[in-house]
Amino acid sequence: MSELVSRAIRGSFFDFTGTATHPQKPADYARYVEEGLLLLNGGKVVSLQTWEAGRHLLTDKVEVTDYRGKLIVPGFVDCHIHYPQTEMIGAFGEQLLEWLQQYTFPVESQYHCEAHAAEMSAFFLHQLLSNGTTTALVFGTVHPQSVDALFSAADRLGMRLIAGKVMMDRNAPDCLLETPEESYSQTRALITRWHNRGRLSYALTPRFAPTSSPGLLAKVEQLRAEFPDTWLHTHLSENPQEVAWVKSLFPDHQSYLDVYHRYRLTGKRSVFAHCIHLEEGEWACLQQTDSSIAFCPTSNLFLGSGLFNLRTCGEKGIRMGIGTDVGAGTTFNMLQTLGEAYKVGQLQQYRLAACEAFYHATLGGARALDLDDRIGNFLPGKEADFVVLDPAVSALQQMRQANSRDIWEKLFVLMTLGDDRNIAHTWVNGQCVWQPVPEENT
């Protein structure tokens, strides 16, 4: 092997190597290397192979980290989350539109304060990493300083992150509104400052159609034309009252998605969160424009929004990743989120197998974000973001894992019983950036 190797990781590895459009037969392109060796050069993967095949490459210049007994998977990808809502997770009693008014907007109004934004950014990123999530697509607030704080903190950690300032000019408290011109110029300045800086990327982030006037949407369209490699991140068809409201606000449009589509906001780098109450024509539009979906199971259950149609999404081959959607979602943890996704499937006679679930949380999420050339698995040249899972951290988990016959059952037990205790270490860009603080011996 001519390529330089600076570090090596020993343990069991699981990832997906295929780029199939939808995981109908995921076992065909999943890879489980029970006694494996991952070679790194700085922040990049050199190769993943069996220990036997690779051990001769370990010179005394290569630092080896031994994770035998652990299961190492690519870092989780969270395709939809709101960092300022971390502090209001678990707000009681309301569905979407009342929940926004009563809880969300008051909390978001605090992010004009740079010190608060910096403190919450650090807390938020720590939550992601301690739950094994290494990349996320993130909403800020309407305040540009909210996004400056988040990008600065992510940059220091070397994380791959996509984020954007919320754009909104109606149907919210005055202190959170802006004019379309302000929204344009502030967003433009943020793109210039952050987009493609290190591992950071910018997402144009109109909150959703009800808080966007036609004039604001025209500004989003203009920015997308000026910066065609930015992402577009918004909400779509989450709640029946919201859908009816969009129809009354935009009577000339055929559907909710048609509002975004007519402003040219659909496409390969467009990510629409929720997509629960879609009409046939909207599914077709997502498919034809190669737009992608963030499925947010804990949020959809917590706000009583409805059941996402996993079957239709798979049949249409629409790229889909998992979003925790904190603070409407109730956990940062992808294992727990996959467990809830399974239950959403069960309520619709859809069996979400562990292989499909872990695909969506890793390579599938990377594909939904159009980042699969950089992250999502252990192929050579990929960025070395991964999570070291301890498969059994309680007596119950130990018993159940001991009863599991194969890797699929082990993964299913992890997504059913697992939580943040199962995250042993999180690596970003070839560096360990999170591990539990050892308990004090008192």
- Distance, in Å, from the CA atom of 85 to the CA atom of 106, rounded to the nearest integer, reads 10
- Candidate residues 78, 238, 258, 282; the one interacting with ligand GUN per rule CB under 6 A: 238
Mask of contacts with ligand GUN, 67-96, x by CB under 6 A? Answer: ---------------x-------------x
Residue nearer to ligand GUN on the CB measure, 200 or 326: 326
Among residues 301, 167, 158, 145, the alpha carbon closest in space to that of 234 is found at 167
- Candidate residues 325, 356, 385, 390; the one interacting with ligand GUN per rule CB under 6 A: 325
- Interface size with ligand GUN, residues (CB under 6 A): 11
Residue nearer to ligand GUN on the CB measure, 202 or 208: 208
- Candidate residues 88, 100, 136, 389; the one interacting with ligand GUN per rule CB under 6 A: 100
Among residues 320, 319, 347, 323, the alpha carbon closest in space to that of 333 is found at 323
Using CA of residue 170, residue 194, residue 202, residue 121, what is the dihedral sign?
A: negative
- Distance, in Å, from the CA atom of 55 to the CA atom of 62, rounded to the nearest integer, reads 11
- Distance, in Å, from the CA atom of 23 to the CA atom of 418, rounded to the nearest integer, reads 23
Report in angstroms how near the CB of residue 133 gets to Zn ion at its nearest: 16
- Candidate residues 7, 199, 235, 410; the one interacting with ligand GUN per rule CB under 6 A: 235
- What would you report as the CA-atom Rg of the chain, rounded to the nearest whole angstrom? 21
Residue 117's binding partner among ligand GUN, Zn ion, none (Cβ under 5 to 8 angstroms by kind) is: none
Report in angstroms how near the CB of residue 207 gets to ligand GUN at its nearest: 5
Please state the separation of Cα 171 from the chain's center in Å.
27
Residue 250's binding partner among ligand GUN, Zn ion, none (Cβ under 5 to 8 angstroms by kind) is: none
- Candidate residues 7, 70, 160, 207; the one interacting with ligand GUN per rule CB under 6 A: 207
Report in angstroms how near the CB of residue 256 gets to Zn ion at its nearest: 15
Q: Specify which residues 162 forms β-bridges with.
A: 137, 201
Residue 104's binding partner among ligand GUN, Zn ion, none (Cβ under 5 to 8 angstroms by kind) is: ligand GUN
User: With contact defined as beta carbons under 8 Å apart, do 140 and 115 qualify?
Assistant: no
For the stretch 211-217, contacts whose Cβ atoms lie closer than 8 Å and that sit 24 or more positions apart, written own/partner, are 211/168, 211/169, 211/170, 211/171, 211/172, 212/167, 212/168, 212/169, 212/170, 213/169, 213/170, 213/180, 215/169, 215/180, 216/167, 216/168, 216/169, 216/170, 216/180, 216/183, 217/259, 217/260, 217/263, 217/265
Half-sphere exposure of 300 (CA within 13 A, CB side): 27
Question: Is residue 269 close enough to count as binding ligand GUN by CB under 6 A?
Answer: no
- Distance, in Å, from the CA atom of 436 to the CA atom of 3, rounded to the nearest integer, reads 33
Residue 208's binding partner among ligand GUN, Zn ion, none (Cβ under 5 to 8 angstroms by kind) is: ligand GUN
- Distance, in Å, from the CA atom of 204 to the CA atom of 191, rounded to the nearest integer, reads 9
What per-residue string of b and e applies to 290-312 under the rule 16 or more CB within 10 Å gives b? ebbbbbbbbbbbbbebbbbbbee
Residue nearer to ligand GUN on the CB measure, 235 or 382: 235
Report in angstroms how near the CB of residue 415 gets to ligand GUN at its nearest: 22
Residue 238's binding partner among ligand GUN, Zn ion, none (Cβ under 5 to 8 angstroms by kind) is: ligand GUN
Assigned token pair, 199: 């591992």
- Candidate residues 86, 104, 266, 336; the one interacting with ligand GUN per rule CB under 6 A: 104
Report in angstroms how near the CB of residue 234 gets to Zn ion at its nearest: 9
Residue nearer to Zn ion on the CB measure, 236 or 424: 236
- Candidate residues 328, 354, 414, 424; the one interacting with ligand GUN per rule CB under 6 A: 328
Q: Can the peptide bond before residue 327 be classed as cis, meaning omega within 30 degrees of 0?
A: yes
DSSP type of residue 110: G
Residue nearer to ligand GUN on the CB measure, 328 or 363: 328
- Residues making contact with ligand GUN (CB under 6 A): 82, 96, 100, 104, 207-208, 235, 238, 299, 325, 328
